[in-house]
Amino acid sequence: MQRMTIASEEARRAIAHSVMMAPIGSRVSIGPAIKTRDQEELFHAMLNDIAKQASYLGSSWDVESWKRLIVDAWSKEDADMPRGRVIPALDGDGIVQLGIQTRSLSKERYSSLIEFTRAWCADNGVELSK
């Protein structure tokens, strides 16, 4: 599968040409811009700061745990976001968390997540390095 971004009028023409040359039965999908690498790096820097400075339930948590906690809290602020769920494991031994995946968020949604995280940090005394 090939992904292309409409970054200029020249790119738009090249993409249109590719669509016109694609075999019948090919699939084409157009969607909003996905998050940028800069947004991802900023969010992960923020999570690192949170993991170093904050605690929850009397414990320190790693970056991945904080990511799940922050994304879950953020998702509750946006009525259009699907909610994460916790369900019993298939073998009945334990539980499985079905969460929201940030990898497919649009630039706009990722910006919202970053702003939510900034506000959370301000409210919880976390000083951000970036």
One domain for residues 67 and 103: yes
One domain for residues 18 and 43: no
What span, in angstroms and rounded, lies between the C-alpha atoms of 52 and 60? 8
Range of the domain at 52: 33-123
Domain CATH code at residue 41: 1.10.3790.10
For the entire predicted model, the pTM comes to: 0.77
One domain for residues 54 and 22: no
What is the 3 state secondary structure string of the chain? CCCCCCCCHHHHHHHHHHHHHCCCCCCCCCCCCECCHHHHHHHHHHHHHHHHHCCECCECCCHHHHHHHHHHHHHCCCCCCCCCEEEECCCCCCEEEECCCHHHCEHHHHHHHHHHHHHHHHHCCCCCCC
What is the structure's pLDDT at 55?
97
What is the structure's pLDDT at 83?
76
Are 50 and 121 within 8 A, CB to CB?
A: yes
Residue 128 belongs to some domain of the structure: no
One domain for residues 76 and 114: yes
Give tens-digit pLDDT for 43-86: 999 999 999 999 999 999 999 999 999 998 999 887 777 777 88
Q: What is the mean pLDDT of residues 86-114?
A: 90
One domain for residues 90 and 117: yes
Give tens-digit pLDDT for 86-99: 899 999 999 988 87
What is the structure's pLDDT at 15?
94
Q: What is the mean pLDDT of the chain?
A: 92
Total count of domains within the chain: 2
Residue 55 belongs to some domain of the structure: yes
